[in-house]
Amino acid sequence: MSVHHDRSRPDNRRVRVLGRPVGSYPDLPPEAGRGSVRRITVVGEEILSRPCREVTEFGSPELSQLIDDMFLTMHVADGAGLAANQVGVDLRIFVYDCPDEAGIRHVGHIINPVLDQPDASSRRLVDDSEGCLSVPGATMTVPRTDRAVARGLDKDGNPLVIEGTGYFARCLQHETDHLAGHTYLDRLSRRQRKNALQQMEDHHEDVFARRAIKAAGLGRGSA
């Protein structure tokens, strides 16, 4: 999921890491500092259109490295969330660095997430702009619930419950969709989808150029 730059900057003094409050936090998460940039897959690639596999082995160096690489790749691409299949890995895991409606910054990862949403009687849908790192250059209005809860595991197999409101709730829903083999384009009408793909055609080269410049500034490869 891509960041909307017109949103207020989250307060780094109010941060939740893996759902837990912490003190001040750096702009660049520690994971990103250890990572390498990976190529981001683009809509139309087969890995984005099928459900990802459950993670069954925890605590491995390979899993930690994947998370580190996803954080840096997300940062270079100006993302708020990134799923593993967006870097070509068929596993149910996503990372996030995203503000909620109160400006609290949420940072972390979640493995094998299951999404809880409000029941129909208390559910409130919000139409808001949404972009995707795998649909570079396109932004469309998508209805999402204003609250969501993701239940899953961390990289060591410990249980996580991540609650989101506002834009962060949208992020949790967007990334969980990815792991089920869907992009936000699947929630659009045929006409809206055509519009989004035309936006991508018109702007994707500029997006790739910005990513390459940011990666070069960090001395890393291109996303």
Give me the sign of the Cα torsion angle 3, 30, 37, 113.
Answer: negative
Reduced to 3 states (helix: H, G, I; strand: E, B; else coil), residue 103 is coil
Cα atoms in the Cβ-side hemisphere of radius 13 Å centred on 179: 26
Q: How many CA atoms lie within 13 A of 112 on its CB side?
A: 15
The tokens of 22 are what? 């912490």
Q: With contact defined as beta carbons under 8 Å apart, do 13 and 56 qualify?
A: no
From the list 54, 57, 130, 175, the catalytic residue is 175
Total length of the chain: 223
Nearest to 42 by CA among 160, 159, 200, 164: 200
201 is catalytic: no
**CB-based contacts of 91, cutoff 8 Å, min separation 6:** 52, 53, 54, 55, 66, 84, 85, 111
**Residue of 105, 116, 182, 99 lying closest to 151 (CA atoms):** 116
**Any idea which residues carry the catalytic annotation?**
175
